[in-house]
Homo-oligomer: A and B are copies of this chain.
Amino acid sequence: MENGNSYRHILKWGDKHEEGISHHMAEVIKEKFDLSDADFKGKHLPGTEPVKLEKPSMLKPVQVDFFRSVSGAENIQTDDVSRARFSCGKFYGELLDLRLGLVPDPPDAVVAPRTHEEVKKIISFCSGEGIAVVPAGGLSSVTGAVRAPGGGIALDLTKHLNKVLAVNKVNKTVTVQAGMYGPALEEKLNRQGYSCGHFPQSFEYSTVGGWISARGAGQASTGYGKIEDMLVSVKVVTPAGVIVTRDFPRMAQGWDIFRLFAGAEGTLGVITEATLHVFNYAPENTTSAAFIFRSFEAAVEAMRIIIQAECGKPHLFRISDPDETDIAFRTGGFEGTLADRALQMLGFKTGSRCLMFVTVEGEKDYARFVIRKIKRKARAGKGLYIGTSPVRKWLEQRYSSAYMRDPLMDLGIMTDTLETAVTWENLLKVWKAAHEYVARRSKAFMMIHISHVYENGANLYFTFLSPMEKGNEKNDFTTFHRGLVETILEHGGSISHHHGVGRVLGPWMEGHLGRSSMELLRAVKKHLDPNNIMNPGGTLGL
């Protein structure tokens, strides 16, 4: 076992015991990548050494003293392990760095403010001194959004600013501090009969402020919306002053200020509080349905028809493409069963068949009515209803795939995800082009799913696996990753649907948005953060 001050302790997902790879999954991997049992012994780049930073903290003692005077000495950390922990998120390239014993972008200190007022003092001081500030939530960013390339401080919002301030039962909203983690928020809400409705895969280790800053999407976003759809108002400390917006349901008083902070990724200021819509908590009402389609094209067409029908919406709404469906069937132990053979005979063949999962939430009879409507439409689109248990099983392990990455990397397997938003018109183009791109690499494998669905399009979520090029892990990954990003953009995808942009995707922003739009982003940034202290160094390509 690694110890508490190792690189591995920082890179591993979650604080649970490591589970390793299931028997079924191991078989798939052996086959796909020509591995033998011997390859499963030992760990590639395990990162078990103790953390040791090259860069000393560059803060002046008087600056550290200031932070201590504001937030208390116990809330300022300058040791190597704390600095390394706040030097990165969970982007594959960052995990690789840690495994290689590299910490390229540590902050000089980690400061954990206790109040909104302390955040104000800290931001004002840092703006005057030119000290960079990286607001930090759960550090689950997969886009390099929480690095400190120029040093400065990481602002740990999770230690103190992690409470529900008010549940408003009349307005059906919650006002919550930015550093609160998903499970704590959801538990508080459940006790009052509500749910936050936002369940990203990172739910266990991500915060409200991070959700807003990255414009995250939960697994039931088709029904509940992305976090920006749930956002009612914010309280933000910027170097140019505090911005507090009001909780009006809608308004027509100029353009919306609060929306600028959805997706700002810490570049404009520190969100300290937010008011969000909440939803009725009634899991016993949830209806679900799983379908199988003969092809991805047929499943996508059925999905589009369902979402455009104006007869109530699914909450969870997913399609796994043939490659992901195949993995799901194999790792689920379904492959080769009698039922599988029956499906094959009916034309639902490995390599082209696709799973679709749906849930509908809300009042009991409403959820039942809408799922019936969806079943009818899925059947009309040649989908075969295969019951509810595949959906229930999926829900039970809904956060598990994040835990798979560490053991895969231990095996020397590169694994990362990308995602994009795309109109229905371009969706199949992007899907095909991405698969073709990955197929050009030997021993590479990609699964794609659709998991967030809208009237005019959907997202595509890409998970790729390939053996690392040992000794050249970073360059190999960077080149491969760049090509995939460019393939997505060239065929009509967006830079990101819900992971955000960070520093990893920043270089594509200007070409993608156009110069006038990018300069508008920069003008907003320049106004709110004239000394460029807020999460500087390439975030959003600013």
CB pair A456–B232 under 8 Å, yes or no, is yes
Interface string of A477-504 (1 = CB under 8 A from B): 0000000000000000011111111000
Q: With A172-B308, A523-B523, A527-B523 given, is the CB distance from A251 to B366 under 8 Å?
A: no
A69 an interface residue at 8 Å Cβ cutoff?
no
CB pair B232–A366 under 8 Å, yes or no, is no
Interface string of A247-276 (1 = CB under 8 A from B): 111111111110111111100000000000
A218 an interface residue at 8 Å Cβ cutoff?
no
Partner of A172, one of B214, B241, B312, B456: B456
Q: With A243-B517, A248-B423 given, is the CB distance from A495 to B255 under 8 Å?
A: no
In the assembled complex, which residues on chain B have CB atoms less than 8 Å from the CB atom of A243? 514, 516-517, 520
- Most chain B beta-carbon contacts within 10 A, residue among A240, A254, A501, A516: A254
A246 an interface residue at 8 Å Cβ cutoff?
yes
CB pair A280–B238 under 8 Å, yes or no, is no
Interface string of A285-328 (1 = CB under 8 A from B): 00000000000000000001000111110000000000000000
- Most chain B beta-carbon contacts within 10 A, residue among A238, A248, A517: A248
A452 an interface residue at 8 Å Cβ cutoff?
yes
In the assembled complex, which residues on chain B have CB atoms less than 8 Å from the CB atom of A459? 249-250
A54 an interface residue at 8 Å Cβ cutoff?
no
CB pair B310–A501 under 8 Å, yes or no, is no
In the assembled complex, which residues on chain B have CB atoms less than 8 Å from the CB atom of A215? 251-252
A343 an interface residue at 8 Å Cβ cutoff?
no
> Interface size of A by Cβ–Cβ distance < 8 Å?
90
Partner of A423, one of B249, B263, B309, B421: B249
CB pair A456–B171 under 8 Å, yes or no, is yes
List A residues 444-472 near B (Cβ within 8 Å).
452, 454-459
Partner of A362, one of B240, B254, B310, B515: B310
- Distance in Å: Cβ of A172 to nearest Cβ of chain B: 5
Partner of A363, one of B216, B309, B496: B309
- Most chain B beta-carbon contacts within 10 A, residue among A250, A280, A365, A527: A250
A531 an interface residue at 8 Å Cβ cutoff?
no
Bound complex: CA A243 to CA B514 (Å): 8
In the assembled complex, which residues on chain B have CB atoms less than 8 Å from the CB atom of A158? none
Bound complex: CA A500 to CA B254 (Å): 7
Which chain B residue lies CB-closest to A261? B255
CB pair A454–B253 under 8 Å, yes or no, is no
Partner of A509, one of B253, B505, B527, B540: B253
CB pair B248–A312 under 8 Å, yes or no, is no
Partner of A425, one of B171, B524, B528: B171
CB pair A251–B170 under 8 Å, yes or no, is no
- Distance in Å: Cβ of A421 to nearest Cβ of chain B: 4
24 residue pairs from A and B, CB less than 8 Å apart: A170-B304, A170-B425, A171-B455, A172-B455, A243-B514, A243-B517, A244-B514, A247-B457, A249-B455, A251-B497, A252-B495, A252-B497, A252-B499, A255-B263, A255-B264, A255-B521, A255-B524, A256-B262, A256-B263, A279-B310, A310-B361, A311-B366, A365-B373, A523-B526
Partner of A311, one of B245, B261, B362, B515: B362
Bound complex: CA A45 to CA B494 (Å): 58
CB pair A494–B277 under 8 Å, yes or no, is no
In the assembled complex, which residues on chain B have CB atoms less than 8 Å from the CB atom of A523? 523-524, 526-528
Bound complex: CA A421 to CA B251 (Å): 6
- Distance in Å: Cβ of A452 to nearest Cβ of chain B: 7
A519 an interface residue at 8 Å Cβ cutoff?
yes
In the assembled complex, which residues on chain B have CB atoms less than 8 Å from the CB atom of A373? 363, 365-366
A424 an interface residue at 8 Å Cβ cutoff?
yes
Q: With A310-B362, A366-B311 given, is the CB distance from A516 to B240 under 8 Å?
A: yes
Bound complex: CA A521 to CA B458 (Å): 32
- Distance in Å: Cβ of A39 to nearest Cβ of chain B: 36
CB pair A238–B516 under 8 Å, yes or no, is yes
In the assembled complex, which residues on chain B have CB atoms less than 8 Å from the CB atom of A241? 515-516, 519
CB pair A255–B251 under 8 Å, yes or no, is no
CB pair A363–B454 under 8 Å, yes or no, is no
List A residues 410-435 near B (Cβ within 8 Å).
421-425
CB pair A263–B257 under 8 Å, yes or no, is no
In the assembled complex, which residues on chain B have CB atoms less than 8 Å from the CB atom of A99? none
Q: With A254-B540, A255-B260, A516-B238 given, is the CB distance from A247 to B366 under 8 Å?
A: no
A369 an interface residue at 8 Å Cβ cutoff?
yes
Bound complex: CA A198 to CA B304 (Å): 23
